[in-house]
Protein backbone atom coordinates (compact mmCIF):
# COMPACT_ATOMS: atom_id res chain seq x y z
CA UNK A 1 0.00 0.00 0.00
CA UNK A 2 1.18 3.51 -0.87
CA UNK A 3 2.24 5.42 2.23
CA UNK A 4 3.48 8.79 3.30
CA UNK A 5 6.18 8.20 5.91
CA UNK A 6 6.99 11.13 8.22
CA UNK A 7 10.08 11.02 10.41
CA UNK A 8 9.86 13.30 13.41
CA UNK A 9 12.58 14.36 15.83
CA UNK A 10 15.23 16.90 16.71
CA UNK A 11 18.66 17.06 15.04
CA UNK A 12 20.74 13.99 15.82
CA UNK A 13 17.67 11.89 16.66
CA UNK A 14 18.50 9.50 13.82
CA UNK A 15 15.94 10.55 11.19
CA UNK A 16 18.24 10.22 8.16
CA UNK A 17 19.60 6.93 9.49
CA UNK A 18 16.07 5.52 9.78
CA UNK A 19 14.96 6.99 6.43
CA UNK A 20 17.89 5.32 4.66
CA UNK A 21 16.99 2.02 6.31
CA UNK A 22 13.35 2.33 5.25
CA UNK A 23 14.18 2.96 1.58
CA UNK A 24 16.71 0.13 1.63
CA UNK A 25 13.94 -2.26 2.67
CA UNK A 26 11.00 -1.22 0.47
CA UNK A 27 10.33 0.73 -2.74
CA UNK A 28 10.13 4.31 -1.48
CA UNK A 29 11.47 7.73 -2.43
CA UNK A 30 13.35 9.64 0.25
CA UNK A 31 13.39 13.45 0.08
CA UNK A 32 16.16 14.80 2.34
CA UNK A 33 16.56 18.61 2.41
CA UNK A 34 20.08 18.53 3.89
CA UNK A 35 21.45 16.31 1.12
CA UNK A 36 19.78 18.33 -1.64
CA UNK A 37 21.04 21.60 -0.18
CA UNK A 38 24.56 20.24 0.13
CA UNK A 39 24.51 18.91 -3.46
CA UNK A 40 23.19 22.25 -4.73
CA UNK A 41 25.85 24.16 -2.74
CA UNK A 42 23.25 25.93 -0.63
CA UNK A 43 24.25 27.07 2.85
CA UNK A 44 22.67 24.54 5.27
CA UNK A 45 21.74 27.45 7.58
CA UNK A 46 19.84 29.32 4.82
CA UNK A 47 16.46 28.81 6.52
CA UNK A 48 14.49 30.69 3.88
CA UNK A 49 15.73 28.41 1.10
CA UNK A 50 15.22 25.39 3.34
CA UNK A 51 11.57 26.40 3.90
CA UNK A 52 11.01 26.84 0.17
CA UNK A 53 12.70 23.53 -0.63
CA UNK A 54 10.58 21.74 1.99
CA UNK A 55 7.41 23.28 0.57
CA UNK A 56 8.46 22.11 -2.90
CA UNK A 57 9.22 18.63 -1.53
CA UNK A 58 5.71 18.54 -0.10
CA UNK A 59 4.16 19.39 -3.49
CA UNK A 60 6.36 16.75 -5.13
CA UNK A 61 5.56 14.20 -2.42
CA UNK A 62 1.84 14.58 -3.10
CA UNK A 63 2.43 14.09 -6.84
CA UNK A 64 4.33 10.89 -6.09
CA UNK A 65 1.65 9.65 -3.68
CA UNK A 66 -1.02 10.20 -6.35
CA UNK A 67 1.07 7.99 -8.65
CA UNK A 68 1.16 5.26 -6.03
CA UNK A 69 4.72 5.93 -4.87
CA UNK A 70 5.58 5.68 -1.19
CA UNK A 71 7.50 8.75 0.03
CA UNK A 72 9.70 9.31 3.09
CA UNK A 73 9.98 12.85 4.46
CA UNK A 74 12.56 13.42 7.19
CA UNK A 75 12.32 17.15 7.87
CA UNK A 76 11.78 16.70 11.61
CA UNK A 77 8.16 17.90 11.81
CA UNK A 78 8.60 19.68 15.13
CA UNK A 79 5.09 21.14 15.21
CA UNK A 80 1.85 19.20 15.50
CA UNK A 81 0.09 21.42 12.95
CA UNK A 82 2.61 20.39 10.24
CA UNK A 83 2.05 16.72 11.06
CA UNK A 84 -1.75 17.18 11.07
CA UNK A 85 -1.62 18.88 7.66
CA UNK A 86 0.36 16.03 6.16
CA UNK A 87 -1.69 13.28 7.77
CA UNK A 88 -4.97 14.82 6.58
CA UNK A 89 -3.61 15.36 3.05
CA UNK A 90 -2.47 11.74 2.83
CA UNK A 91 -5.88 10.56 4.05
CA UNK A 92 -7.58 12.78 1.43
CA UNK A 93 -5.38 11.17 -1.25
CA UNK A 94 -6.38 7.74 0.05
CA UNK A 95 -2.85 6.68 1.01
CA UNK A 96 -1.56 5.37 4.31
CA UNK A 97 0.49 7.62 6.58
CA UNK A 98 3.08 6.66 9.20
CA UNK A 99 4.67 8.81 11.87
CA UNK A 100 8.02 7.63 13.22
CA UNK A 101 9.01 9.59 16.32
CA UNK A 102 12.67 9.40 17.34
CA UNK A 103 13.94 10.81 20.61
CA UNK A 104 17.02 10.80 22.83
CA UNK A 105 18.28 12.96 25.72
CA UNK A 106 19.74 16.28 24.53
CA UNK A 107 23.26 15.33 25.69
CA UNK A 108 23.04 12.25 23.47
CA UNK A 109 21.77 14.32 20.52
CA UNK A 110 24.73 16.68 20.95
CA UNK A 111 27.14 13.75 21.18
CA UNK A 112 25.80 12.23 17.96
CA UNK A 113 25.87 15.55 16.07
CA UNK A 114 29.50 16.09 17.09
CA UNK A 115 30.47 12.53 16.15
CA UNK A 116 28.69 12.88 12.80
CA UNK A 117 30.50 16.15 12.05
CA UNK A 118 33.83 14.55 12.95
CA UNK A 119 33.07 11.66 10.59
CA UNK A 120 32.17 14.08 7.76
CA UNK A 121 28.86 12.36 6.94
CA UNK A 122 27.07 13.81 3.87
CA UNK A 123 24.30 16.32 4.57
CA UNK A 124 25.33 16.57 8.20
CA UNK A 125 24.45 20.00 9.62
CA UNK A 126 27.09 21.03 12.18
CA UNK A 127 24.74 22.26 14.93
CA UNK A 128 26.34 23.70 18.06
CA UNK A 129 25.21 22.68 21.54
CA UNK A 130 23.99 26.26 22.10
CA UNK A 131 21.83 26.15 18.98
CA UNK A 132 20.52 22.68 19.87
CA UNK A 133 19.48 23.99 23.31
CA UNK A 134 17.39 26.71 21.64
CA UNK A 135 15.58 24.08 19.55
CA UNK A 136 14.49 21.85 22.43
CA UNK A 137 11.63 24.07 23.73
CA UNK A 138 10.32 24.56 20.17
CA UNK A 139 9.78 20.83 19.64
CA UNK A 140 6.22 19.54 20.19
CA UNK A 141 6.64 15.83 20.87
CA UNK A 142 3.80 13.69 19.51
CA UNK A 143 1.54 12.28 22.21
CA UNK A 144 0.25 8.71 22.29
CA UNK A 145 -3.12 10.09 21.22
CA UNK A 146 -1.55 11.71 18.14
CA UNK A 147 0.53 8.62 17.24
CA UNK A 148 -2.68 6.57 17.31
CA UNK A 149 -4.07 8.69 14.46
CA UNK A 150 -1.40 7.28 12.11
CA UNK A 151 -1.07 3.86 10.55
CA UNK A 152 1.07 1.33 12.34
CA UNK A 153 4.58 1.59 10.81
CA UNK A 154 5.55 -1.37 8.67
CA UNK A 155 8.29 -3.34 10.37
CA UNK A 156 11.63 -1.61 9.81
CA UNK A 157 14.68 -3.77 9.78
CA UNK A 158 16.38 -1.98 12.65
CA UNK A 159 19.38 -2.47 14.84
CA UNK A 160 18.56 -3.69 18.34
CA UNK A 161 17.92 -0.83 20.74
CA UNK A 162 17.24 1.84 18.11
CA UNK A 163 14.56 4.18 19.33
CA UNK A 164 11.50 4.26 17.11
CA UNK A 165 8.05 5.11 18.43
Ligand X SMILES: Nc1ncnc2c1ncn2[C@@H]1O[C@H](COP(=O)(O)OP(=O)(O)OP(=O)(O)O)[C@@H](O)[C@H]1O
User: Where on the chain is the footprint of ligand X (CB under 6 A)?
Assistant: 9, 11-17, 34, 76, 112, 115-116, 121, 125, 162-163
Output the smallest distance, CB 31 to ligand X, in A: 13
Residue 7 vs 65, nearer CB to ligand X: 7
Partner whose binding site includes residue 62, from ligand X, Mg ion, none (CB under 5 to 8 Å by kind): none
Output the smallest distance, CB 42 to Mg ion, in A: 15
Distances (CA, A) of 44 to 68, 113, 122: 31, 14, 12
Find the helix or strand (DSSP H, E) in which 140 lies: none
Output the smallest distance, CB 53 to Mg ion, in A: 14
Output the smallest distance, CB 43 to Mg ion, in A: 16
Longest dimension (CA), the chain: 43
Partner whose binding site includes residue 117, from ligand X, Mg ion, none (CB under 5 to 8 Å by kind): none
Say if residues 70 and 5 touch (Cβ distance below 8 Å): yes
Residues making contact with Mg ion (CB under 5 A)? 15-16
Report the C-alpha gap between 130 and 93 in whole angstroms.
Answer: 40
Residue 76 vs 96, nearer CB to ligand X: 76
Contacts of 23 (CB under 8 A, 6+ apart): 29, 30, 72
Amino acid sequence: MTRLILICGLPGAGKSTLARRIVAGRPAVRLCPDEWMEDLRIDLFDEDTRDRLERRFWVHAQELLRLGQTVVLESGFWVRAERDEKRLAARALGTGVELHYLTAPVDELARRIAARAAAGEPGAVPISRELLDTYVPLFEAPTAEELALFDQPAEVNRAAGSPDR
